[in-house]
Structure 1
Amino acid sequence: MLSTDDNRLAGAGAWLTRMVAVGLVCLLVEACAETPTQPRDTTLPTGRWSGDGACLSVAVDGCDLVVGCGHGQFPPPVVHADGTFEINGTYRIEVGPVSINPAPPAVFSGILRGQTLTLSVTPSDPSLRPASYMLQLTNASGKCAVPCV
């Protein structure tokens, strides 16, 4: 026959075992109830992107694109979970002194896959054709130089 102390120890052990089992069940239920982590919208990585004769400087305060004598500006875009973005900005081609007139509007869209960005520019000016550039993120920093102004 068990003493009173032995009965108390046996009861405490059974209670502790039940509490641990209940805790494990709660953890399993909570883990199974959570949804998997969804990819989230992000920003375009800052730095200098180049390729196809184009240079794109991405900074916290904005993006500057230089392609030959063409240059455009747009705010930092939100890159969606699927790697795409589209944002309004401005784009013009000019040789010589910088115009004091506001640059005409343009739509910038892109697809980001790792360190590769496919950037498309669709100017509102019908005399300018849309263009696309395949750019790679480089280690360079600072703005791209505009060679024609």
Structure 2
Amino acid sequence: MVTIVESVGLPADVYSAKCATRQVLDHIAGKWTVLIVDVLRDGPMRYTELSRRIEGVSQKMLTQTLRGLETDGFVLRTVTPTIPPRVDYALTDLGRSLGEPIRALREWTETHINEIERARIEVAERKAAQGY
């Protein structure tokens, strides 16, 4: 089944390098996007709350990812004119619809991490035995 991208009238085909769906998939599959969308499922958060909650994300990557999520319509950025200004980030309806598959992916990863780690060890041992 071919879906038409309504805004430009092109077929939606994630396997085509020229299709906008590829860009969106690349964006939503990024680790920072996955973590930001998952944590925002709990409700709106300020930038500093997000930064504290998601260990290891740099200021640059958090800012860049939030901007991309806002551009794609997944996140709403709300500025409250106080001193200093208060900025909150929340999922839009579109972002909440993405949140469910991301939650499932996180839960799957947490459930299977020990199997994955065992597989990594086995592969490393095989490679070492074979002189890789």
The TM-score with structure 2 as length reference comes to 0.21
The TM-score with structure 1 as length reference comes to 0.20
More strand by share: 1
More helix by share: 2
